[in-house]
A and B are shown apart, each in its own frame.
Chain A
Amino acid sequence: MKVVFNRRTILYIIILCSIAFLYFGAKGTYTAYESFVNTEMSNRVAPIHLLINGEDLGSDTVLDNRIILDNITWTSTHTRPGKLSPGSTGSFQFELDPTGSEVAILYQIQFIDKEVDPDKIVTFQNVTSDRTLVRTSIDTYSGIITLANIENGQKTHITVDFIYDDTEDIEGIREDNQVFEDFFEIHFTALQYQGEELIAYTG
């Protein structure tokens, strides 16, 4: 039997073939695109990471989001070592370790002492660092940890000197029922650095 294709039949065949080609071709293109999208989604997010005296600032294990400084050195006289009495001076240091961070860090440290809040016991005298630290407001110091600092494994050390001011008579205590916040508070904030300029506080 001789099969005869008329023009209309040929046209239908061409259309069907075109549809089939477009369908399978498009499906192949979509698969490739999906694969591309998946590759993008699997890229790591650059983490921010900072340890203060070995405590992970971003960890949930930091109790009450509070880091306790217990490395105070004292220069008291006539006082049992390790105890704070009027006239005592002391200092403590804390270390900022950005190892593992893949973003630069801007940190701000707010110091709340007796000068800021008269109910506090301790007055800060000096705040110093082995890296650039700028006093950016009456009670806040700021610094930047650059990517270069992080890549070179450089840590930042901040030293704080303080005094229990004895210029006025102070009632002695017969039992120690002070809580941490009675002495001073330091509020530490670490931010992803976005190029801000640190402007020195001029009073």
Chain B
Amino acid sequence: MAYARYEMRSQLVANIDKALYIFDSDEIRFNLDPDGIIPSNDPYVYRFSVANFNENNVSDVDLTYHVKVRTTTNLPITIQMFRNQLPSDAGAVNLLGGSQDVQDEDGAWYHVYDINADYQMLYTQQVTDYYTMVIHFPAIYGADMTYVNSIENIEVSLESKQMV
């Protein structure tokens, strides 16, 4: 025989705030085509920035990030990268050393420039790092018809991760 009995039920839940992960930068990818770049003794300068905050929030975690540049091998360009410095600053340090040539699964070759450093952004402060990328395509190549129809693809990847 089963008897009725008292029964009470409830659900327990927790008031938890999930940490926001703000790394405000998208992958940068663009093409240098004959309309956009011509051999010149004046360098081409591109700027971008990364931050651990946006207009609404600041990252709740410490994070590190890593910068890598990959270019196709169609144009004889050289690249320099400066972090929080201008190329004209005294003692400005070019972060890009030599490149490594790698081949992808389709057989295409690329120059890969890897900045051998992980940069930190701590949640305790709003941080913005400004980058200046300088591309040299010297004027001496202007007379070389080899590059007239060539397109160079530049890809800057920024990989971030939470510090542990």
Contacts and interface: CB of A to CB of B under 8 A. Distances in A.
Interface of A: 48, 50, 52, 55, 57-58, 62, 64-70, 72, 77-80, 82-88, 92, 94, 103, 121-122, 166, 172-176, 178, 180-181, 183-192, 194
Contact of B12 (A52, A72, A85, A121): A52
A96 to B, nearest CB: 11
Interface stretch (B34-42, B53-61, B96-104, B109-117): B53-61
B132 to A, nearest CB: 27
B80 to A, nearest CB: 31
Given A80-B123, A173-B21, A174-B21, A189 B14 contact: no
Contact of B10 (A70, A77, A79, A188): A188
Q: Is the interface of B mostly helix, strand, loop or mixed?
A: loop
B56 A175 contact: yes
Given A85-B162, A189-B9, A191-B6, A175 B17 contact: no
A180 B15 contact: yes
B16 A72 contact: yes
B118 to A, nearest CB: 13
B7 A192 contact: yes
Contact of A191 (B7, B13, B22, B123): B7
A185 B11 CA distance: 7
Contacts of B163: 78
A194 B164 CA distance: 50
B13 A48 contact: no
B140 interface: no
Contacts of A191: 5-7
Given A83-B60, A176-B17, 13 more contacts: A65-B9, A65-B11, A79-B62, A83-B20, A172-B162, A174-B20, A175-B20, A180-B15, A183-B13, A186-B11, A189-B7, A190-B6, A192-B5
B12 A186 contact: yes
A50 B20 contact: no
B8 to A, nearest CB: 5
B3 interface: yes
Contact of A78 (B13, B22, B162): B162
A67 B14 contact: no
